[in-house]
Chains A and B, each alone.
Chain A
Amino acid sequence: MELMDQDSLLKSAANGNRRDLSRLLTYVERGIKLNYPEKTHPRKSSVIGITGPPGVGKSSLIGRIISYCNSRNQNVAVLAIDPSSPRSGGALLGDRVRMESADSGELVYVRSLSTGGNPGGLSSSLISMIELLSYCGWENIVIETVGSGQSEIKIVAFADKIILVDGPDRGDIIQAEKAGIIELADIIVINKSDLPGAIKAAESIRSSLSFADEKKSPDVILVSAQMNDGIDEMMDLVENCDSPDWREKIKIQERLLSLWDSRLLSSPSLNRIIDELQTGSISLDDALDKLAR
């Protein structure tokens, strides 16, 4: 990979050259730090994180968010994340298939990412990618996480607003009683509202949240990405909701952890230390001490 002339790439990307933006995103994905011109004041983008279990319609919903933003003449960049194979390191990235609005027009940019394509960990490269997109004038940035369980709070590290997506057919509502991402979401969207069971699912989640602090609990709304129903209401809520203050602290903590992970993963001695751990010649504590040095 050629590293020449980062400055002119940056300039051209900021002037709207997609090809150069794409190239720079690859650099950043691979852990290369960009040097922004000093006098630039940071442009502020609105960063929306979309999370939720696999198959609830996150990508389809993002397709609608793209159309929503574009119809208001706002641009939107999407970073869609799918898992890498732990065995081969390869990945099949299929989120684009569901985003019908993604492949035309100057007002949308979609990039597929794998969890394994980043030497320093995905979280830290995402933070840098958001910074770059923001610098290049993308007003709205949407991050789609891989289908997640309950404990995925890393999204807090990048997103200003978090949408938790769920579906009508998710069975046991005790899931909603469990703590985790559900407490961090700004709004909870029950997608596929055109299917039976959606209203019941929304009610169950509402009632389980009602036991918590009422003023702070997120709105639960019904949406159908397929039928394009409820999208405007959803975006209104996203734009107007106030995230709780305590989340800022968690955000900073998660950013710190991401950077820590990144340092660890990009340490030149990592592979050797893992080998030593495997043969049992050092303990986990020893390994950490060695890495921290």
Chain B
Amino acid sequence: MLQGGSPFRIFDTMKIVMAKPGLDGHDRGAKVIARSLRDGGHEVVYTGLRRTPEEISRIVMDEDANALALSTLSGAHDVLVPRICELLKETGMGNVMVFLGGIIPDRDRESMFSSGVRAIFGPGSRTDEILSFLDEANSRVESGAPIGVGDGDGWRWN
């Protein structure tokens, strides 16, 4: 079906790349989130498992995504997440918003946020909370406030 083109589509939604970096083969959680973002009106590009930071930043670039959702359960977030954030900044994609899901121990949260992550959704998070987060991010964009991984300013969701 190459038709489509709904006249009702308003662009207050995001194009979001959802990726699982590194050696982590469990993506049930990522798929549930991807579906709920879709139902919230967003476009989600799912990349599949075991992507390298280089592949992920490349996909974000090719897709011209507004946001990157990373899901990690393997415990390697403290290496992979800062690396991905750095790559985005280095390649001119500092305006892309990064948020995180999966198992992130409390002691690591601060370092994730200081890499440029704007929200962390651990086990038990509600999907409607994630959608509210994206709504707030969008209204920040409209008012010219930064949300990107390279924008600084300290705004975070949780």
**What residues of chain A have their CB less than 8 Å away from a CB belonging to chain B?**
1, 18-19, 22-23, 25-26, 30, 81, 83-94, 96-97, 103-104, 109-112, 114-123, 126, 145-146, 148, 152, 154-155, 261-262, 265, 270-271, 274
B residues 1-41 touching A (CB-CB < 8 Å): 1-9, 11, 13, 34-35, 37-41
Instruction: For the complex, give the distance between the alpha carbons of A90 and B2 in Å.
Output: 16
Contact A26 B64 (CB under 8 A): yes
Say whether, besides A22-B61, A96-B47, A89 and B1 are in contact (CB < 8 Å). no
Contact A85 B38 (CB under 8 A): yes
Contact B13 A89 (CB under 8 A): yes
Instruction: State whether the Cβ of B45 lies closer than 8 Å to any Cβ in chain A.
Output: yes
Which one of B2, B3, B43, B47 contacts A97 once the chains associate, using CB atoms below 8 Å?
B47
Instruction: State whether the Cβ of B153 lies closer than 8 Å to any Cβ in chain A.
Output: no
Chain B residues in 8 Å Cβ range of A152 = 1-2
Chain A residues in 8 Å Cβ range of B41 = 88-90
**Listed A/B pairs (25) with beta-carbon separation below 8 Å:** A18-B62, A19-B92, A19-B93, A22-B61, A22-B62, A22-B63, A88-B38, A88-B41, A89-B6, A90-B41, A91-B38, A91-B43, A96-B48, A103-B47, A103-B58, A103-B59, A110-B62, A114-B43, A115-B1, A116-B6, A117-B9, A118-B4, A123-B3, A154-B3, A261-B5
Contact B1 A88 (CB under 8 A): no
A109-B62, A271-B7, A271-B8 given; 8 more Cβ-contact pairs under 8 Å: A18-B61, A22-B61, A22-B62, A88-B39, A92-B34, A112-B45, A145-B2, A154-B3
Instruction: For the complex, give the distance between the alpha carbons of A26 and B96 in Å.
Output: 15
Contact B7 A123 (CB under 8 A): no
The 6 closest A-B pairs by CB, nearest first: A115-B4, A121-B5, A97-B48, A22-B64, A90-B38, A154-B2
Which one of B1, B54, B59 contacts A145 once the chains associate, using CB atoms below 8 Å?
B1
Contact A103 B55 (CB under 8 A): yes
Instruction: For the complex, give the distance between the alpha carbons of A123 and B13 in Å.
Output: 22
Instruction: State whether the Cβ of B91 lies closer than 8 Å to any Cβ in chain A.
Output: yes
Instruction: For the complex, give the distance between the alpha carbons of A271 and B7 in Å.
Output: 7
Contact A90 B37 (CB under 8 A): yes
Contact A261 B3 (CB under 8 A): yes
- Residues of B in contact (CB 8 Å), total 37
Q: Which residue of the partner chain A has the closest CB to B18?
A: A92
Report B62 CB to chain A, min CB distance, Å: 6
Contact A90 B40 (CB under 8 A): yes
Q: Which of B9, B11, B40, B93 has the most CB of A within 10 A?
A: B9
Say whether, besides A96-B59, A103-B51, A112-B45, A86 and B6 are in contact (CB < 8 Å). yes
Instruction: State whether the Cβ of B89 lies closer than 8 Å to any Cβ in chain A.
Output: no
Instruction: State whether the Cβ of B42 lies closer than 8 Å to any Cβ in chain A.
Output: yes
Report B95 CB to chain A, min CB distance, Å: 11
Report A91 CB to chain B, min CB distance, Å: 5
Contact B7 A270 (CB under 8 A): yes
Contact B4 A83 (CB under 8 A): yes
Contact B4 A122 (CB under 8 A): yes
Say whether, besides A115-B5, A117-B9, A88 and B40 are in contact (CB < 8 Å). yes
Contact B46 A96 (CB under 8 A): yes
